[in-house]
Amino acid sequence: MLKVLLHSGIGEIVAVCARYYGGVKLGTGGLSRAYASGVKFALESMATEPKIDRTFAVVIVGYRSVGAIQHLMNEMDITVSGENYGGSVRYECGIPTASFGRFSSAVADVTHGEGSVARIQHPVGPPLDSP
């Protein structure tokens, strides 16, 4: 099982097998092949996506810039985990680390210097818009 996982090219994964007494006796080699083929089948049928290292940030903009900022976030693959509409609009989001500087500059350009992007620790607790 471990050999199949190590050679799969997929990271951060684990396989667990429960064995019950009874049935056909496969022997050591048969069990190994059965477990390996089960893991291989699971890996082939599993949906995967690339892992993107993200920097968590708070983005604060005025209401006039909301449409442009949301378009920018979609364009740059930024995930929004919370939003709050008060005197200004505040987004908690995950920005691909490689794009952080480019996004910060783009926010400044779109908001004419009024918007801000500040790094935060990984958010803990409920999103901003939950009760």
- What average pLDDT does this structure show over 15-40? 82
Residue where the block lists tokens 């200004």 = 88
H or E stretch at 24: none
- The pLDDT mean for the chain works out to 87
Phi-psi region of 22 (alpha: psi -120 to 50; beta: other; left: phi over 0): left
Decide: 88 and 60 in contact? Cβ < 8 Å: yes
pLDDT tens-digit readout, 33-57: 888 898 999 998 988 888 889 999 9
- What average pLDDT does this structure show over 62-85? 93
pLDDT tens-digit readout, 101-129: 999 999 999 999 999 999 988 655 555 54
